[in-house]
């Protein structure tokens, strides 16, 4: 499968961001990609306006998602990225959308809200309460995660035990002391400990680090972007996953069970 990583700097204007994303879709299709992964928070961002995300939130049947559906209607590319979706409570959900063939085929509401360092996402966002879906793309099973989720290894492990061969991570990783090292370490660890591909796309610009990357099942960074807007491509193979799981059978050797959400404990 060929994957495109669409790293860009989100502006305060959702129409401008939509136009940029539509160009990325066209370029990714021209490059033969099966999947285009975009960053987190692609509707709007303004370092000088902390309320921009809430003010720009759109429903899943709003103009942004409709335009993405229209852009994918004639082709086979799958597009993933995160938008803010109002939930009727005066708050919003950080929602990873999956669009293909002119339709919204899957969504994931971010489980782990970024209440860390100097941020508190839970002031305006509502956390998800269900596990991410696993989506099939070009014969691969793809598990969904979002940004801060990468700091919680049990989510990645659960998705892989449920069949995911690739984990995707749209992000808006904030700059800060040691934060670039955290990003690279965590993305690499989730790939290596689960012998899966990790595809992580970060928003770049004034506030966030960019540094999009693909790490293979043996912890090798096969693609890594810098701090500027860029569209990069990467090939992933079933053979590499099979090789990693043969020489490093951590999934077979594990002594702990299948992680579950707190809400699942005692269910069934």
Task: With beta carbons less than 8 A apart as the criterion, state whether 87 and 107 touch.
Answer: no
Question: Would you identify the CATH topology of the domain 2-256?
Answer: Nitrilase/N-carbamoyl-D-aminoacid amidohydrolase (3.60.110)
Task: With beta carbons less than 8 A apart as the criterion, state whether 156 and 131 touch.
Answer: no
pLDDT at 263: 83
Q: Copy the structure tokens of residue 258.
A: 């299948």
pLDDT at 50: 87
Query: First and final CA of the chain: distance in angstroms?
Result: 37
pLDDT at 268: 47
Residue ranges of domains in the chain: 2-256
Q: Which long-range contacts (CB under 8 A, 24 or more apart) does 178-183 make?
A: 179/209, 180/209, 180/211, 183/209, 183/211
pLDDT at 72: 98
pLDDT at 65: 98
Task: With beta carbons less than 8 A apart as the criterion, state whether 158 and 260 touch.
Answer: yes
Catalytic residues: 40, 110, 147
**Whole-prediction pTM:** 0.97
Spell out the per-residue pLDDT of the chain, length 268, in tens: 999 999 999 999 999 999 999 999 999 999 999 999 999 999 999 989 989 998 999 999 999 999 999 999 999 999 999 999 999 999 999 999 999 999 999 999 999 999 999 999 999 999 999 999 999 999 999 999 999 999 999 999 999 999 999 999 999 999 999 999 999 999 999 999 999 999 999 999 999 999 999 999 999 999 999 999 999 999 999 999 999 999 999 999 999 999 999 888 655 4
Q: Copy the structure tokens of residue 208.
A: 């966030």
pLDDT at 265: 67
pLDDT at 62: 98
């Amino acid at each position: 499968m060929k994957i495109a990583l669409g790293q860009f700097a989100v502006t305060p204007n959702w129409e401008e961001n939509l136009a940029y994303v539509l160009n990325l879709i066209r370029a990714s299709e021209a490059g033969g990609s099966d999947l285009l992964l975009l960053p987190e928070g692609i509707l709007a961002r303004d370092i000088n306006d902390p309320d921009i995300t809430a003010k720009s939130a759109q429903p899943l049947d709003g103009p942004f998602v409709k335009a993405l559906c229209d852009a994918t209607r004639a082709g086979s590319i799958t597009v993933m990225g995160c938008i803010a979706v109002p939930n009727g409570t005066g708050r919003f959900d950080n929602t990873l959308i999956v669009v293909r063939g002119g339709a919204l085929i899957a969504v994931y509401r971010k489980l782990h809200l970024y209440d860390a360092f100097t941020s508190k996402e839970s002031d305006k966002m509502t956390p998800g309460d269900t596990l991410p879906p696993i989506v099939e793309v070009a014969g691969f099973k793809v598990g969904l995660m979002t940004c801060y989720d990468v700091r919680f290894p049990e989510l990645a492990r659960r998705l892989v035990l449920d069949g995911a061969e690739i984990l995707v991570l749209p992000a808006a990783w904030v700059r800060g002391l040691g934060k670039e090292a955290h990003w690279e370490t965590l993305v690499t660890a989730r790939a290596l400990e689960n012998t899966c591909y990790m595809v992580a796309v970060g928003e770049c610009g004034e506030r966030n680090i960019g540094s999009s990357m693909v790490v293979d099942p043996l912890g090798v960074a096969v693609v890594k972007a810098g701090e500027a807007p860029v569209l990069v491509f990467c090939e992933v193979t079933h053979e590499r996953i099979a090789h990693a799981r043969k020489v490093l059978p951590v999934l077979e050797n594990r002594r702990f069970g299948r992680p579950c959400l707190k809400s699942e404990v005692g269910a069934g």
